[in-house]
Amino acid sequence: MRQGAGREEGTITVMTIGFLLFLGLLSVVVINSSAAFLQRQQLDNVADGAARSAADGLSREAFYRRGEVELDASQARQLVDDYVNSPGTRIALVRATGDRVQVRLERSVGLALVPPGWQSRTTIVSEATAELRTTQ
Distance, in Å, from the CA atom of 81 to the CA atom of 54, rounded to the nearest integer, reads: 9
- Helix axis angle, 73-83 relative to 11-54, nearest 10°? 130
More confident residue, 21 or 59: 21
Give residue 62's pLDDT.
Answer: 63
Q: Measuring CA to CA, which residue among 119, 120, 124, 91 is closest to residue 108?
A: 124
The residues near 58 (Cβ < 8 Å, ≥ 6 apart) are 69, 70, 71, 72, 132
Give the Cβ contact number of residue 90 at 10 Å.
13
Average pLDDT, the chain: 84
| Coil vs helix vs strand at 57 | coil
Over range 89-102, report the average pLDDT.
88
End-to-end CA distance of the chain: 91
pTM of the model: 0.74
